[in-house]
Amino acid sequence: MRFEAQLEEAMRVKWRAYYINYPGLKERIAEMESDPTVSNQEFLKQLRSQMLKAMHFYDSVESRIAMEARGELTSDAVSAIMHEIQALKTYAKLNTDGLRKIAKKYDKRCGQTKTMQADILKT
């Protein structure tokens, strides 16, 4: 199964807007690959924006879970918190895998220097 399908299947519906836009980033890479005159600067800005979006959401959910975990908890509350922690762990893994795969695609198809890291450092 392709990663895009895995991501779509594993996404938590109520968090859908906070996952990285893997299809959009992949589409941008295809544009740069098909037209070498297209600058990678817009892609790198979009990538940064997607990373920050995912990181901010992760931090906010983590903080909310920590607040909920304070004080006395019923067994149902503990179960709900554990479920939320597992969902957050899955969220982090999916976004990390997506970013890694996008970086690999970028490097393989249109890295202007040697790697995405080098291109980011140039900007």
pLDDT tens-digit profile of 55-114?
A: 999 999 999 999 999 988 999 999 999 999 999 999 999 999 999 999 889 888 876 655
CB neighbour list of residue 65: distance below 8 Å, 6 or more residues apart: 81, 84, 85, 88
Q: What is the pLDDT of residue 49?
A: 96
pTM, full prediction? 0.86
Mean pLDDT of 38-66: 93
Instruction: Give me the helices (H) in the chain, please.
Output: 3-10, 22-34, 41-69, 75-110, 116-122
In this prediction, residue 121 has a pLDDT band, given cuts at 50, 70 and 90, of: low
Mean model confidence pLDDT for the chain: 89
